[in-house]
Structure 1
Amino acid sequence: MLEGGNIPILDAIQLETNFFKESNNFTAFTTKIHSNFHINRVEDYMKIVSFPTQADIVPRRLSVYSFFFLTKGRSIKSKGLNSYDFGENTFFFLPAYQITTHQEICAGSEGYYCHFDMQLLNVDYKTKDLINEFTFLEFNANPTITVDEEAKSNILHLLDRLILEYKTGEKCRMNVLRMYLMTLFTEILPFANNDNPNTSNSAFLITEQYKKYLAEYIYDKQKVSDYAELLAISPNHLNKCVKNTLGKSAHDVLNEMLLLEAKFLLKQSNLNISEIACKIGRNEISSFGRFFKAQTGVSPSEYRMIGFNA
């Protein structure tokens, strides 16, 4: 259970610290570039750590982008409230600030884990252009991508090349990491479901930033006007952008994020319902109850008691 109720946001160094608590040998996988980029083989990690760790099971957000590529075995990971059970030759992509857990991985599984700060790629590319090109990096995209055996051969070469460069430590060349990472994304792209909206327009970009801010500030800012101020636009303009991109209002999206937080806190925290209500801006428990039941069809107490997954 979460202590204190907040779903934590971990940067790369905090993520490393959590792993370090599980094994004093984990420093062998880290370098000074860890905050911008990290990669390791899953099987190497599983030799020294009993997986999944408590840090994996507890819901969290990462401030970096990450992917998990399974070459052998089976795993279950979550993105938001959805769980994904996937097997070999499958990638699981997770954008920064999305809620996640790593619920299960079979003994004997093999693969790669990698995280990277978008600033690593922003030297040559703008974030909007990257998301436009590689739609699996988008906040609400389907996180799983399965590749065929022919592509896998090229992908393994790229991943192994990234590991070799990363292990050089202080001599690691960031431009080489950037080049191979971009090539890897290009190899994966034909297997992704490109069913996301047009990402080249300003409405989409504003909407994406809005969703990112929601993930970062949902406990502190619970009005659409607060986020419009962060984006330096009017609430009306923010609403139009979200409506044009998602087909729903900015207020609807805000409520969806509040509901997501409430569901996780009900399932995973030691807070009582009154405390959860306050955290999501419903100071009156009756107001929280009406809000929650209108969205899910059940009361907060029923949801917590029976583990309802609506």
Structure 2
Amino acid sequence: MKESSHIPIIDANQLITNLHKESKSFIAFTTKVHSNFHINRIEDYMKIVDFPTQSDIVPRRISVYSFFFLTKGRSIRSKGLDSYDFGENTFFFLPAYQITTHQEICFGSEGYYCHFDMELLNVDYKTKDLINEFTFLEFNANPIVMIDEEAKIRIIPLLERLIQEYKAGENCRFDILRMYLITVFTELKIFVGSSKPNISNSAFLITEQYKKYLSQYIYEKQKTTDYAEMMAISPNHLNKCVKMTLGKSAHDLLKEMLLLEAKFLLKQSDLNISEIAYKIGRNEISDFGRFFKAQTGMTPSEYRLTKLM
């Protein structure tokens, strides 16, 4: 397969390159350490970047894990098909390779942004063990972890210590980064249960599993019957569960995922329109054009060229 046909993934180095392009004077956080770890204060970021940036607001998929912790203000971020509106004392976790957008952040917001390659932690832990221990890192987990004031008092010095070590640049000690990052995660564990949605019925659980499979297999499977078969339930039961939980059909949800992937490929890849149509199961470019315009009001070409500010 030629390089241009690959599904694009933004790695940590590309993230910092994008920040260079979009910032007014970004100079503080660029070191080789960035390929494994990055942390900054949200208020520092907002001083040098006119938010929202184009790379924030369009769908993207990155190769590192990240979290966004608000100590003040409000933000709206997406994980896959779901958007989350959250305020102060809240962590938002995003696993690697999940499609996301950062749709909004209020002026005057404060807090911390951090991303890290799992290899940083794999020196002492296996990825599977880490995800079992810290469930907010799991691909389909609820990304929101809300903490109390006492925990914030304990956690902020840990994040500040991470910033201090990160700014050491070439002299940064990775064992310090690992230790403090794991300590932050450990402080959050007791809040995971209280942050989960208070829904546990079978329809909700089936819908969540369906969304997880859509995120993982949308390029290979583009019929609701395929997913029902994977889940060992009937297509009618799958549709009933999604309808009961979300007020929309299983097919509607599949179309939303296809549209999200199409937007992602249009903005983040160099695939031509015909190649993108094929990847989302539209063999005819005219069929893809009709599908995309019906959902967005724009043709794929118009969307690709339009800045979404």
Deviation digits for residues 106-145 of structure 1 (CA, Å, limit 9, x no counterpart): 1111000000000111111111111111110011111111
Q: How far apart are residue 300 of structure 1 and its match?
A: 5.3
Tell me if the contact between 1:135 and 1:141 (Cα under 8 Å) persists in the aligned partners.
yes
- Paired AA for residue 188 in structure 2: I
Q: How does 1:53-72 map to 2 (within 5 A)?
A: 53-72=53-72
Q: Displacement of 1:82 after TM fit?
A: 1.3
Show structure 2 runs of 5+ residues with no match: 198-208, 223-227, 239-249, 299-309
Distance 1:181 1:42 in 2: 18
- The residue type paired with residue 257 of structure 2 is L
Correspondence for 2:37? 37
Alpha-carbon spacing, 1:137–1:258, altered in 2? closer, same or farther (3 Å): farther
Match of 1:50? 50
User: Cα RMSD (Å) of the superposition?
Assistant: 3.8
Q: How far apart are residue 302 of structure 1 and its match?
A: 3.2
Q: Distance in 2 between matches of 1:261 and 1:175?
A: 41
Question: Matches of 2:171 and 2:273 in 1, distance apart?
Answer: 52
1:235 alignment counterpart = none
Aligned to 1:139: 139
Aligned length: 257
Alpha-carbon deviations, 1:21-64, whole Å to 9, x = none? 01263232122110100000011111111111111111101100
1:150 and 2:150 correspond: yes
Counterpart in 2 of 1:262?
259
TM-score, normalised via structure 1 length = 0.71
- The secondary structure found in structure 2 opposite 1:157 is helix
Partner of 2:165: 165
Q: After superposition, where does 1:122-137 map in structure 2 within 5 Å?
A: 122-137=122-137
CA distance in 2, matches of 1:174, 1:124: 12
**Is contact 2:31-2:169 (8 Å) kept?**
yes
> Structure 1 vs Structure 2: percent identity of aligned residues?
65
Structure 1 residues not aligned, in runs of 5+: 197-206, 225-238, 293-298
Q: Is the 8 A contact 1:273 1:300 kept in 2?
A: no
State yes or no: 1:16 paired with 2:16. Answer: yes
Contact in 1 for aligned 2:214/2:257 (Cα 8 Å)? no
Q: Secondary structure at the match of 2:103?
A: strand
Change (3 A) 1:149 1:5: farther
Q: Is the 8 A contact 1:266 1:300 kept in 2?
A: no
Pick the aligned partner of 1:304 from 270, 276, 296.
Answer: 296
Hey, what does 2:245 align to over in structure 1? none
Residues 1-310 of structure 1 mapped to structure 2, 5 A cutoff: 8-23=8-23, 25-193=25-193, 214=216, 222=220, 243=231, 260-265=257-262, 269=266, 276-284=276-284, 301-305=293-297
Q: TM-score, normalised by structure 2?
A: 0.71
Q: Distance in 2 between matches of 1:46 and 1:285?
A: 40
The amino acid that maps onto 2:87 is G
Contact 1:5–1:269 at 8 Å: present in 2 too?
no
